[in-house]
Amino acid sequence: MPVTRALPMPNAAQPPSPVSPGRQRRHTLPASEFRPLSPQDAASVFEIEREAFLSVSGECPLYLDDVRHFLSLCPELSLGWFEEGRLVAFIIGSLWDEDKLSAEALTRHKPQGTAVHIHVLAVHRTFRQQGKGSVLLWRYMQHLRSLPCVRRAVLMCQDFLVPFYQRCGFEVRGPCDITLGALSFVEMQCPVRGHASIKSLTFPLFHNPLLAF
């Protein structure tokens, strides 16, 4: 016996749409989407930051105005991961033109710089420990390779995250010159040219977003 699928009844209040069902589906939010952020995403970014940093240490890599500032100046150096339209993880970067990070790097975008300073990588708390931070960083590094001016990515992190970034291809440069209150940091970097081949990284290959890049 042929199996028939029940079709939804047309809504009496609205005329049937003239477009095909295939075209209608385009209006649904994609399950998983990666895209650069814009200033309109600043509130969602800061909501994740508030929980990830402010509530933990009282310090925050970027406050709301800083987020808007960088997303206006250099949105191409950001990347957001959206699940069904909701921001679940993001990276924000800007260009830096000196060998080491200094306090000025926290607020400046230097358009002539060849280093991308990754100000912040954060994953919404309900999506952590699922590989999202690693995959997003990998995709971000791949994206940087398409920007001709970029030679390396640099970041500062607390001691406990050094192994995480090492697994993502970053190397330790030494203690960072920047301190925030009682917090000290390690400076790390990753070359962008000719690096980060898929074989050299330890991310699980079963992650679809990684393979789909």
* 133 near ligand COA (CB under 6 A): yes
The CA distance from 3 to 66, in Å, is: 57
Judged by CB under 6 A, the chain residues 55 through 84 that form the site for ligand COA are 61
Give the shortest CB-42-to-ligand COA separation in angstroms: 17
Q: Which residues, 6 or more positions from 86, have their beta carbon under 8 angstroms from its beta carbon?
A: 44
Give the shortest CB-66-to-ligand COA separation in angstroms: 13
**Residue from 132, 187, 192, 196 binding ligand COA (CB under 6 A):** 132
**Residue from 131, 151, 195, 209 binding ligand COA (CB under 6 A):** 131
* 52 near ligand COA (CB under 6 A): yes
* 207 near ligand COA (CB under 6 A): no
Closest C-alpha to 49, from 119, 110, 1, 97: 119
Nearer to ligand COA, 123 or 150 (CB): 123
| 115-123 vs 152-157, strand pairing mode | parallel
Tell me if 156 sits within 8 A of 176, measured CB to CB: yes
HSE-up (13 A, CA, CB side) for residue 126? 4
Closest C-alpha to 93, from 113, 83, 184, 82: 113
* 160 near ligand COA (CB under 6 A): yes
Closest C-alpha to 190, from 167, 212, 207: 167
* 134 near ligand COA (CB under 6 A): yes
* 204 near ligand COA (CB under 6 A): no
Q: Which stretch binds ligand COA (CB under 6 A): 35-43, 78-86, 139-147, 153-161?
A: 153-161
DSSP 68: H
**Residue from 38, 72, 130, 184 binding ligand COA (CB under 6 A):** 130
Nearer to ligand COA, 151 or 164 (CB): 164
**Residue from 109, 128, 173, 207 binding ligand COA (CB under 6 A):** 128
Tell me if 56 sits within 8 A of 127, measured CB to CB: no
Phi, psi of 179, deg, nearest 5:
-125, 150
Binding site for ligand COA (CB under 6 A): 52, 61, 120-123, 128-134, 157, 160-161, 163-164
